[in-house]
Amino acid sequence: MFNWKLPSLASALTGLGGFVSFMVGMSFLFLNCSLLLEWSIFTIGSMNISILILLDWMSLWFMGTVLVITSSVLYYSNAYMEGDENMVRFIYLVLLFVVSMLMVIISPNFIKMLLGWDWLGLVSYCLVIYYQNSKSFNAGMITVLSNRVGGVGLLIAIGWAMNFGMWNFLALPLQDSFAMKWICACIIIAGLTKSAQMPFSAWLPAAMAAPTPVSALVHSSTLVTAGVYLMIRFYKTLSSVPILLLILAYIATLTSFMAGLGANFEWDLKKIIALSTLSQLGLMMVAVSLGATTLAYFHLLTHALFKALLFLCAGKIIHISGGNQDIRQLGSLTPSIPLSSVCFNLSNLSLCGMPFLAGFYSKDLILEFAWASDMNFLAVLVLLVTTALTCAYSFRVSWYAMALAPHSNSANTYSDTESAYTSPMLTLLVGAIGSGLYLSWSLLEIPQFMVITSIWKVMPLILIFGGLIVSVCLNLSTLGESGAGGLFKSYFLSRMWFIPTISSQMIVKHPLQGGYSALELGDQGWSEQVGGQGIMFFLSKLSLNLQTVQGNSVKLFIMVMVSWTAIAMLLFF
C-alpha cells in the first residue's frame, strides 16, 4: 500500500505556507506597504538584466489561496489516488506546478514570468496526460499548443520591451506609442490563451482528462487564473491603449455567454464545471477591461475557493459511482454522502451568487459596476443572461445528481466518514462561505460606492430564480429534442460553437501537418539537395570522374585526341 508520508507532509507544508502568506499579506495591506527585491545579474549597454520579486498584499494573498487549495488537494489525493502506482510522480508534478505558479505570481519581470509561464504549460501537459491514453494525449496536445501561443506573445513583448531598456512591466512608461501598442497586444494574447478566452477556449474542457485533484487545482486558482492575474498586474499599462481594453471586454463577454449556454446542454459532470470556470473567467476579464481590477481580483480569490470545493465534491461523486461522469446516470446521492452533498450544493449556490455566500459579494459588485459604467447596454444584457444561465446549469447539476430517483450504482455502499475526503472539503467550505464577507471588508474602501436603483440591488435574486425557471424549462420540456432543434442543441450549443473543432484543426492538426510538410520540403528536401548531402554527392561523383581521368586508360587518351582533333577542324574549316 502507498505510504502516506509524502502527500501528508507536502499538504502540511503547503498549508502552513498558505497561512503564513495570508498573515503577512494582511499586515502588508493594513500597513499599506510592499517589498520589491532586485538582484542585478549583469548589464548589457543600457539593458539591466535582473531578477525581481514583488511581495505585496495582492501577490501574498494569491499565494496563500494557491497554497491552501494545494494543501487540500494533496490531502484529498491520499484517498482519491490510493493504489496508483505513480503516486510519488503525481505529488512531485503537483508541487512543481505550484512552484511555477508562485513564480508567475511574484514576478513583475517579463523574463522571470516567462520562465514560470512556460513551466506552467510544460507541467500542465504532464498532468493532463497522466493517465496515458489517447484521450489524455489529445487533450494534452491541444493544451500545451494553445498555451504555447501565449508564450510566443510574451516573447514578442520581451523583444518590444527592449525599446524602453527594461523588462519590469510595472515601470513601463504610460504612452500610446507603437511599441507600447505591440506590447499590450501581445500581453492580451497571452492572457487570452492562458485563461481560455475565445478563440482559445477549447483546451480548458479538454484538460478534464486529467485526474480530478489536478482539475481542482488547475481550474480554480492556478493555470487558468494566471491570465487574469497578468491582466490585473498589467492594467496600468493597458489603460494607455483603450481600444485593446474594448476588444477584451467584448471577447470576454462573448466567451462567458458561450460557456454558460454550452454548460446547459452538456452531460459530463466535470465538463460542466469546467465550462462554469470558463464563464467566470470571462466575467473577471470583463471587470479588468472596465478598470475594476480590485473587483476582478476579489472574484478571482472567492471563485478559487468555491470552485476547488466543487471539483473535490465532484471527484467524490465520480469516485463512488465507479468513474461515471454522466449526470443522467447519477442517482440520489444525498442519503449516502450527506456531507459531500451539502458542500456540493453550497459551492453551487456560491457560484450562482446566492446572497451571503462568497460568490455573491464579488459577482454582484461586478454586475453593478458594469451597469454603472459606460459599457454597451447589449453587452451588459448578455452578462445578465449569462448569470441566469449560470444559475440554470448549477440547478441542473444538483437536480440530476441529488434530487432524481437513484439509479443502479454503488453509491449506497459509501459514506462520508473518511477524513481524507471530508477534511479538505470542510476547509474549503469555510472559504466558500466566509471569504466573500471578509474580503469585502478588507479590500473595498467605504467611500467608493455606486448609486443605483432599487431594482438593480435585487437583481441577483431575480437572476437566481430566473435561472431556476430556465433550468426547469430546458430539462423538463421535450421541445427541440428531435429534428432541427435537436441537431442545433447537439451540434452547436453543446459543442461550444464548434470552437474545439476549429481549435483542433487550426492549432493542432494543420500546424503540425504544415511543420511536417516544411520538414519534408526543406530539411529533408531542398536542403538535402543543395546542402550537406547534395554537396557530398556532387563531390563524390566529381571525385570518381577525376579518378577515371587519372587512370592512364589508352582508350580515354585516344577518345580525347580524336575529340580535340574534331573540334580543331571545326574551328579552322
User: DSSP character for 268?
Assistant: B
Kindly state whether residues 509 and 450 are assigned to the same domain.
no
- Give the position of cell 481550474: 219
Report the sign of the C-alpha dihedral through residues 455, 364, 310, 19, in that order.
negative
Kindly state whether residues 523 and 558 are assigned to the same domain.
no
pLDDT tens for the chain, 573 residues: list them: 445 567 778 778 888 888 888 888 888 888 888 888 877 777 776 666 777 888 888 888 888 888 888 888 888 888 777 777 778 888 888 888 888 888 888 888 888 888 888 888 888 888 888 888 877 888 788 888 888 888 888 888 888 877 777 777 777 766 667 777 888 888 888 888 888 888 888 788 887 877 888 888 877 767 788 888 888 888 888 887 888 888 888 888 888 888 888 888 888 888 888 888 888 888 888 888 888 888 888 888 888 888 888 888 888 888 777 777 777 777 667 677 788 888 888 888 888 888 888 888 888 888 888 887 778 888 888 888 888 888 888 888 887 777 654 544 444 455 666 777 788 888 888 888 888 888 888 777 644 556 666 676 677 777 777 777 776 666 655 444 544 445 555 556 666 666 766 766 666 666 777 777 777 677 666 666 666 677 777 778 878 777 776 666 777 777 778 887 888 888 776
Kindly state whether residues 359 and 415 are assigned to the same domain.
yes
256 found inside a domain: yes
Kindly state whether residues 428 and 573 are assigned to the same domain.
no
Kindly state whether residues 428 and 413 are assigned to the same domain.
yes
175 found inside a domain: no
Domain containing 566 equals 534-573
Burial (Cβ within 10 Å: 0-12, 13-18, ≥19) of residue 20:
middle
The residues near 447 (Cβ < 8 Å, ≥ 6 apart) are none
Kindly state whether residues 406 and 433 are assigned to the same domain.
yes
Kindly state whether residues 319 and 348 are assigned to the same domain.
yes
Residue 323, sorted as left (phi over 0), alpha (psi -120 to 50) or beta, turns out to be left
What does the pLDDT read at residue 451? 62
Distance CA 202, CA 332 (A): 32
Kindly state whether residues 419 and 400 are assigned to the same domain.
yes
Could you give the number of structural domains in the chain? 3
DSSP E strands in 341-385: the ranges are none
Kindly state whether residues 430 and 461 are assigned to the same domain.
yes
pTM score, whole prediction: 0.81
What does the pLDDT read at residue 2? 46
What does the pLDDT read at residue 408? 46
Indicate the residue type of 346: L
| Cα angle value 41/43/45 (rounded, 5°) | 170
92 found inside a domain: no
554 found inside a domain: yes
237 found inside a domain: no
373 found inside a domain: yes
328 found inside a domain: yes
Kindly state whether residues 421 and 565 are assigned to the same domain.
no
* CA 535 distance to own-chain centroid: 48
3-class DSSP state of 35:
strand
What does the pLDDT read at residue 510? 65
82 found inside a domain: no
Kindly state whether residues 463 and 512 are assigned to the same domain.
no
3-class DSSP state of 168:
strand
| Beta carbons of 257 and 386 less than 8 angstroms apart | yes
Kindly state whether residues 486 and 511 are assigned to the same domain.
no
* Residue 266 CB neighbour total at 10 angstroms: 23
Long-range contacts of 509-513 (CB under 8 A, 24+ apart): 511/145
